[in-house]
Amino acid sequence: MQDYVESDILTVSEITREIKFVLEENFSRVSVIGEISNFKDHVSGHWYFNLKDSDAVINCTMWRGINNYVYFTPQDGMKVIVNGKITIYPPRGTYQLDVRSMKPAGLGELQAAFEKLKAKLEAEGLFDEEYKKPIPSFPKKIGIVTAIDGAAFKDMISVAGRRFPLVELLIAPARVQGSGASESIVKSIEELNKRDDVDVIIVGRGGGSIEDLWAFNEEIVARAIFESEIPVISGVGHEVDTTIADYVADLRAPTPSVAMELATPSIDDIFAFINDFSYNASNRIEEILNNAKESIQMFTGSYAYRFPVDLVRNKQQQLDYAISGLSRNIDSKILMLDGKLSLLAQTIESHDVQKTLKRGFVLVKQNSKFITRASKFVNGEAAELRFYDGKIKVNS
Residue 127 clears pLDDT 90, i.e. is over it: yes
% of the chain beyond a pLDDT of 90: 36
Nearest to 244 by CA among 118, 144, 125, 129: 118
Mean pLDDT of 50-77: 87
d(CA 338, CA 312): 38
Stated pTM of the model: 0.57
Per-residue model confidence (pLDDT) at position 5: 59
Mean pLDDT of 275-304: 73
Per-residue model confidence (pLDDT) at position 300: 65
Confidence of residue 276 (pLDDT cuts 50, 70, 90): low
6-105 has CATH 2.40.50.140 classification:
yes
Residue 274 clears pLDDT 80, i.e. is over it: no
* 195 φ/ψ angles, rounded to the nearest 5 degrees: -90, 160
d(CA 13, CA 327): 105
* 145 φ/ψ angles, rounded to the nearest 5 degrees: -110, 105
d(CA 255, CA 237): 6
State the sign of the Cα–Cα–Cα–Cα dihedral 181, 185, 188, 190.
negative
Per-residue model confidence (pLDDT) at position 174: 95
Cα→Cα distances 24→64, 92, 95, 98, Å: 21, 17, 10, 10
Eight-state DSSP code of residue 60: E
What is the chain's mean pLDDT, rounded?
85
Nearest to 184 by CA among 233, 156, 224: 224
Per-residue pLDDT of 70-115, as tens digits, reads 888 888 888 889 999 988 887 777 889 999 998 888 777 888 888 8
d(CA 49, CA 283): 75
- Is residue 68 within 8 Å of 114, Cβ to Cβ? no
Residue 294 clears pLDDT 70, i.e. is over it: yes
112-263 has CATH 3.30.70.580 classification:
no
Nearest to 122 by CA among 259, 33, 244: 244
Kindly give, in sequence order, each residue whose CB lies less than 8 Å from that of residue 83, ignoring residues fewer than 6 positions away: 29, 30, 31, 32, 99, 100, 101, 102
* Paired strand residues for 31: 83
Nearest to 98 by CA among 111, 87, 113: 87
Q: Which of 118-132, 293-307, 338-352 has the lowest mean pLDDT?
A: 293-307
Per-residue pLDDT of 160-214, as tens digits, reads 999 999 999 999 999 999 878 999 999 999 999 999 999 999 999 988 888 889 9
